[in-house]
């Protein structure tokens, strides 16, 4: 880690040296869309970072919303993460396959629930494998731990608040979906959902914030955020398809020192599927100078 890289992103070398240390936990946070044609649970069983536990984002969720993998209550989250042997006082490293797709979501969840020392593995498991580092097969059965939640409600935006943000412009909206879905030129992957974006939203695709599994440096992140029309002196709400890759923008914002941010948990799965929400197509509105 250095002044030029995110303080939340750690190298495989660093992780490898910490393995087995007291209070050091590794979490496989892989989750994929059908288009990826990857099975996160099967890949975990076939080989994972030694000692890593599998965090099932579809299971550790609020199942009453009708939306995919909604953020669960602090009590449910704490109970499930405790079963994984994780405490809020641990040093926790999360990873996914490609590096920065689903891991930042669990990074955000853990921090939102009160854990402070949470990091993301640069390069992901794909990078770990490519460097021929040690793998453990099968399922890890950790000793249970107590996770005491300290929920940060300010980091989560519910639908009614999101509607107010769109109406009054009280925060900037950063959309992590691909540019085609943002403009409405590409269909949403979920059936029955309009494509396009919320009025006033800015496009900052999550996939643009890393390259070859490596998170981009601080200077580049600042430039990309500014080029997207996002003012770092003002509050930001992030959104995406279902609340997963919106956390990649959260990681970028926090990395450059912006902490006045929150994630719209329902994201486009909620906004785009409703009939009472405004949807705009085409590019983002010009930045007012």
Instruction: Specify the 3-state DSSP secondary structure of 147.
Output: coil
Tokens of 258: 């912006």
Q: List residues bridging with 215 in a β-sheet.
A: 210
Q: State the number of CA atoms in the 13 A half-sphere of 233 facing the CB.
A: 0
Active site residue 260: no
Give the H or E element holding residue 51.
Answer: none
Looking at the chain, how many residues does it have? 289
Instruction: Measure the CA angle with vertex 263, ends 190 and 56; round to 5°.
Output: 60
Residue carrying structure tokens 């990681």: 251
**117-121 and 156-157 strand pairing:** unpaired
> What Cα–Cα distance (Å) separates residue 276 from each residue in 184, 270, 279?
18, 11, 10
Tokens of 64: 């009453």
Q: State the number of CA atoms in the 13 A half-sphere of 222 facing the CB.
A: 12
The one catalytic residue in 240, 248, 252, 284 is 240
DSSP state of 173: E
Task: Work out whether the CA dihedral 67, 73, 79, 85 comes out positive or negative.
Answer: positive
What is the DSSP code string of 58-105?
TTSSBTTSSSTTB---HHHHHHHHHHTT--TTSEEEEE-SSSSSSHHH
Positions annotated as catalytic residues are: 240
């Amino acid at each position: 880690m250095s002044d030029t890289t995110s303080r939340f992103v750690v190298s495989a070398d660093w992780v490898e040296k910490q393995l087995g240390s007291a209070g050091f936990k590794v979490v496989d946070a892989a989750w994929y869309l059908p288009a990826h044609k990857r099975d996160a649970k099967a890949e975990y069983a076939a080989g994972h970072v030694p000692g890593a536990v599998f965090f099932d984002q579809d299971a550790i969720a609020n199942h009453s919303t009708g939306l995919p993998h909604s953020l669960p209550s602090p009590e449910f989250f704490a109970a499930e993460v405790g079963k994984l042997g994780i405490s809020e006082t641990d040093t926790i490293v999360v990873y996914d396959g490609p590096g920065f797709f689903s891991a930042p979501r669990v990074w955000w969840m853990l921090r939102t629930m009160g854990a402070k020392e949470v990091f993301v593995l640069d390069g992901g498991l794909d990078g770990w494998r490519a460097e021929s580092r040690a793998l453990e097969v099968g399922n890890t059965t950790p000793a249970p731990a107590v996770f005491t939640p300290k929920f940060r409600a300010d980091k989560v935006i519910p639908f009614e608040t999101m509607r107010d943000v769109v109406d009054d412009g009280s925060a900037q909206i950063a959309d992590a979906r691909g540019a085609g879905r943002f403009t409405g030129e590409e269909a949403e992957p979920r059936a029955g959902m309009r494509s396009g974006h919320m009025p006033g939203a800015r496009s900052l695709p999550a996939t643009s914030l890393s390259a070859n599994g490596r998170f981009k440096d601080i200077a580049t992140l600042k430039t990309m955020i500014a080029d997207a029309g996002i003012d770092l002196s003002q509050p930001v709400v992030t959104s995406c398809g279902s609340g997963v890759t919106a956390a990649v923008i959260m990681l970028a914002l926090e990395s450059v020192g912006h902490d006045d941010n929150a994630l719209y948990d329902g994201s486009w799965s909620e906004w785009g599927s409703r009939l009472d929400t405004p949807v705009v197509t085409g590019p983002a509105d010009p930045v007012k100078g």
